[in-house]
Structure formats: structure tokens, C-alpha cells
Structure 1
Amino acid sequence: MSSPLTLDALRILDAIDRRKSFAAAAEELYRVPSAVSYTINKLEDDLGIKLFDRSKRKAELTAVGRLVLDQGRQILTASEELTVLARQAAGGWEAELRICVDSALGFDAVYDLIGQFQALQPRTEIRLMEEVLTGTWDALNSQRCDLVIGAAGEPPGQGFSTLPLGEVAFEFAVSIDHPLTQIPQPLSMDSIRQYPTVVVADSSRYLPTRSSGLLDGRSRIVVDSLQRKIDLQARGLGVGYLPLNLIQRELQDGTLQIIKLVDTRPAQQFCAAWHNSNRGKALAWFIERLQHMTFDSRLGLIADRPGD
């Protein structure tokens, strides 16, 4: 059984409410008043309810009529959105783009890119997620995201394209008043073994996980994000390696101090990655912008300088 609440009837109902008269609504919709009245009368007959209180001078909705219109406006909005999305998809623009960022890279540059993209294509919904270690490749491999910014290591299989972004430098950092700051550097592993290390848990769901900054034989504090790790180490509750680009503020305000170790941790290569089969315009836009960016060990992901 088809509903009498057609999109056309809802548009007429909306126009009458906004213009406060059948005649004004007819003028807005380029129809004769009798056609508008006929549509509303038939709708009321088909529904078996009164939508308008005709005892008033101006067209006023009944309580039931207000309910129908309020819900109907949501249907009208959804219909308009669907029309836009259909045309958008036909033009090659995705309805949604899911971006996964490794927590070691930071988000400032990604926020800037999203702002630029919204000015160009506001109808594409951006979904932003954060992953740690193998979690970035896992999100892409399991189709939970369309673009990874900050994947480390090799792809887990075939069918991926990658774009090198640069190296993230890691420094061993402790709170400014930590006992390790009073010992001559560089420190051996034995010197730091008695202090808890803060470890970020790998967020991978399906691919084999790995841990970053794990030192054998030591107690650990396991957290789910690099920001939690920074917070704990700044409070003196643990020690460990941190991305240099993410601790610039703490180094400047004196809450963290870099400690040199005999065995240093090498910089980590990071890249952007996506599925070869994805041909969406939104993805292509972000890839093109990333091609003109590089990773600075202190500033994070930045746009290339002219002439570089």
C-alpha cells in the first residue's frame, strides 16, 4: 500500500507553513491556489486526519499536522541529500572518505588538509581515525579506511600504492626532575632498567601486532595512544622513546628532557598508502596534496617550501 505522503505533498505542506497561506504557497510553487487546496484536502481525506485548523484567519497546522510536517521536512532534506549524493557519485566524488592517521605523525597538517578539502567539496563526509603501529596497515587491509597517512614498514600484501612522507625521529625522554637526568650520559640499558617504560599498545585487530619502545625485563605501563604516553612520561611515571615532533611543547616548557642512550633508536620511515583500485576524486585530491608535503623531524608534516 503506497503512502499518500508523497514528496510533492510534503513540499506543499512545507510551503503553506512557511508562507502562512495557501495562496502564497501556490505563488511560491508556481501553481494555482485551487491545485494546492486540492492536494491538501485529498491528503487529509486519505490520511483521515485534519492537517490545518481552518477556523483561523491564517493557515495554521493542527498538532497532528505539525507532527507530519516536522517529520516530513526530514524526509525532504534526506531526499535532497540523496539527489546531491547521487550526482556527486556520478561525477566521481565519494560520499565518504575514511582517513587513518598514525598517532606518531600528529594531526595538525591533516586538519589543514581537511579544511582545504571542505572548501572544495563539502558534500563528501570525512571520517578521521587514529591508529598505532600495525593498526594503520590493518585498517587499510581490512577496508576500514581508504587512506593511511603514516604507515610504517612494508604493506601486508599486494594491491597497495604508497607515497613516502619522510622519517620520524624518536628520542628517549623523561620528566625534567626524573633521577635519570642526574646521571652522566649516554646511559646504558642497565641504568634505565629499574624504571617503568610506557608502551603504546598496537591497535591492529587482525594483522600480527608489535610493540614500540619495549625494553626487556622492565615493568610496563601500557596505554592506547601516544598522547597518554607523553602525559605519563611528563609526570615522571615512566620513561621511553617519543616522536620528537610531538614533544616540542614539553621540551620548550621544561616538562620533558631528552636523555641520550648508548643504544639509540633509528628514525622510522613513514608513508601514505591506499588501495590501487580506489579511483575516487576525494582520495586523488588528498594524494595530490600529500605529494607536495614532507615530514620535518621537529615540525611534523609540512608543505614543501618553494624551490625544494
Structure 2
Amino acid sequence: MSKNAASPRDVLTPDSLALLQGIADAGSFAAAARAAGMVPSALGYRVRQIEDALDVLLFDRSSRQASLTAAGHELLREGARLLAEVDAIANRVRRVATGWESQFTLALDGIIDRRTVFELCEQFFALKPPTRLRLRDETLSGTLAALSSGQADLALGVVAEASTVVSLQTRPLGSLRFVFAVAPHHPLAHAPEPLSDDVLGQHRAVAVADSVPRGGGLTLGLLAGQEVLTVPGMPDKLQAQLRGLGAGFLPECLARPYIESGRLVEKRVERAERVVHVAYAWRKTPEAVRGKALQWWLQQLESKVTRQALVGERITPSR
């Protein structure tokens, strides 16, 4: 490091981290400079300042593409975590001052009924709170990961076991029955029932990708060696199966209208009926210091009718 080089604290600012991420996303210094409204030489100088302060190379300049080095990848990964923590600190400070979170983020698993969520959002905004709402689409263990990493304040539809996470509190949300369904023109639509795993394994499955950012995540209902079409969310899985691109299990509440209209065919399988129990979860905080937005959402979830609607259960009138 040169004697005149800035210190890491001088250069590792939110703007600098955003600039580095912009280069990584654009794939070149020239494209990133255009997007940032800078001349390439000025952008290159900023990057060299950061590299000098850290005494590392962040980008491989041996080709026209701006490829991150291992150190660059690590900086952006840790930088994203630091920026999230800065946002969390600002959120906590505002909560202390006003009682309301400046931003409240909900992590929503793909099985959660979006219409019910938006109805709740309407009710929340009717209070005219000074809180911005943010909704995150997640799947399987990614729903819990968003909460435990601090990227969400409340998670709806936690499938993974969250009770072992000491820092979280959970409550049951409901149960979803899954049915095996295929398009009428799919070969399995006319196969003898119940379908064995040997028969299922000969046909492509449609699976939803786990949204957890690192690691393999969860995989449900797939057979060893089976061809798989992986899609980003439950609505995409439904569309793929309606088109006959594959087969698989769908939440009954999602599949039932299409089964009744003849666009999907429900098939019995040999394996045990699949019922998934889901929960909602939030980070442990004493009730006295909970933000007003979290208090409001938790209060809504105390309603059995609301919980049933969120998981698409058929609501039965109480006696």
C-alpha cells in the first residue's frame, strides 16, 4: 500500500460498494461508467483507490470483461451484508424514536396466497403509517433464511424447521395438502393408478427452486435420477404443468380450480399423502420494544380466518 493511499474506512462507503457491484453486474468498466454517468478513467481511478486501500486486486483486467477476483467476490458478499446491517440500524433508530419501523419486510413463501397478503397490505396502509412495506418472494428454506439473516422482519410460510433457531419465534400458520396433477395430454393422465415411483421416475418432474442464497437448499418430492424442470416459483410450476412440460405435486388449493375445470388431472400415487405444515416466524424481541408494524401484523395473524386464507384452506364457519 502506498503512503498516500486512503484507509479502508475511507474508501469502503455505500457509494463505493454500489459502484463495485455495478461493474460486476455490467461486466465491463466502460458499461458501468456509462450507467453511472462517469468517464471510464474516473471510474478506474475510484476502483484503484479502493484496491490500494485494501492492498488487493478486485477485478481481473486480463481480458475485456471485468471479472471479479476471489477477493472481489468476498468484498461484495460482505459488503451486501454490511449494507443490510446499516439499513437495520437505521430502522431500529427510527423505531426507537417513533415506534414505527421505517421499513418492514415480509418474506413470503410461494405457497402463501398473495390475494390475502395484498388485502392485509390495504388494511395496513389505511392506518397511514410512516412505514414502507417490502415483499420478498422466497421458496422453501429461503423463506427462513431471509428472516434469520435480517433481510426480513416477518416470514410467512416457513416450511423448514425453525423452532431450533434460538433467535426466532414461530407460530403455526396452517397445513397444505398437495395433490399430484398433470395436464390432460400428459402421458401420466391415462396411466393406471396408483402411480408407482418407478412409473413417476420415467417422466420429467417440475420443481420449484429453493431461494436460499447459498448451499443446495431443500428438494421435495423428487426421485433419484429423474429428469427435472426447475422453475423460480409456484405460479411458474403451475403453468409448466398446465402445458404438460412435466408432472408434480401442487397445493390442492392452487390446483383444485384447474382440476374441476378439466385443465389438470389429479392422479393417485403409491407414496403417502403429502401434507406440509407451515408456520410464520419473526425474530425474538420483547413485546415492549417491538415495532408497531410488527405488532400490527402479528395481531392480524392471531385470527384463524386470516391464517386459513393465507394458506388457501377452505374456511369453515365456527360453531
TM-score (norm 1): 0.66
Task: Output aligned runs, 1:78-157, within 5 Å.
Answer: 90-155=97-162, 157=165
Aligned in 2, Cα 1:231/1:281: closer, same or farther, shift over 3 Å? same
Q: Displacement of 1:165 after TM fit?
A: 0.9
Which residue of 2 is the match for residue 255 of structure 1?
A: 263
Letter of the 1:283 partner, please give it. Answer: L
Q: Could you tell me which runs of 5 or more consecutive residues in structure 2 were left unpaired when the two chains were aligned.
A: 1-92
Task: Output aligned runs, 1:1-308, within 5 Å.
Answer: 90-155=97-162, 157-206=165-214, 209-277=217-285, 279-293=290-304, 296=308, 300=312, 305=317, 307=318
* Whole-angstrom distance in 2 between the partners of 1:252 and 1:299: 20
CA contact (8 A) 2:176 2:252 kept: yes
CA contact (8 A) 1:105 1:301 kept: no
**Which consecutive segments of 4 or more residues in structure 1 shift more than 2 A?**
86-91, 293-299, 301-305
Letter of the 1:133 partner, please give it. Answer: L
CA contact (8 A) 1:200 1:226 kept: yes
* Whole-angstrom distance in 2 between the partners of 1:207 and 1:213: 19
CA contact (8 A) 2:116 2:309 kept: no
Q: Displacement of 1:208 after TM fit?
A: 5.6
CA contact (8 A) 2:309 2:315 kept: no
Letter of the 2:125 partner, please give it. Answer: Q
* Whole-angstrom distance in 2 between the partners of 1:89 and 1:127: 20
CA contact (8 A) 1:193 1:218 kept: yes
Secondary structure of the residue that 1:168 maps to in structure 2? strand
CA contact (8 A) 1:93 1:280 kept: yes
Letter of the 1:102 partner, please give it. Answer: D
Greater mean alpha carbon deviation, residues 281-290 or residues 209-218 = 209-218
RMSD of aligned Cα (Å): 2.6
Aligned in 2, Cα 1:298/1:241: closer, same or farther, shift over 3 Å? farther
Larger radius of gyration: 1
TM-score (norm 2): 0.64
* Whole-angstrom distance in 2 between the partners of 1:112 and 1:252: 26
Aligned in 2, Cα 1:298/1:236: closer, same or farther, shift over 3 Å? farther
Secondary structure of the residue that 2:199 maps to in structure 1? helix
Secondary structure of the residue that 2:269 maps to in structure 1? coil
Q: Displacement of 1:180 after TM fit?
A: 1.4
Q: Could you tell me which runs of 5 or more consecutive residues in structure 1 were left unpaired when the two chains were aligned.
A: 1-85
* Whole-angstrom distance in 2 between the partners of 1:121 and 1:95: 13
Aligned in 2, Cα 1:279/1:210: closer, same or farther, shift over 3 Å? same
How many aligned positions are there?
A: 223
Secondary structure of the residue that 2:161 maps to in structure 1? coil
Aligned in 2, Cα 1:297/1:168: closer, same or farther, shift over 3 Å? farther
CA contact (8 A) 1:244 1:297 kept: no
Aligned in 2, Cα 1:154/1:88: closer, same or farther, shift over 3 Å? closer
CA contact (8 A) 1:167 1:269 kept: yes
Deviations 1:214-270 (A, max 9, x none): 122211111111111111111111001111122233223221111100113421110
Letter of the 1:171 partner, please give it. Answer: V
Q: Displacement of 1:129 after TM fit?
A: 0.9
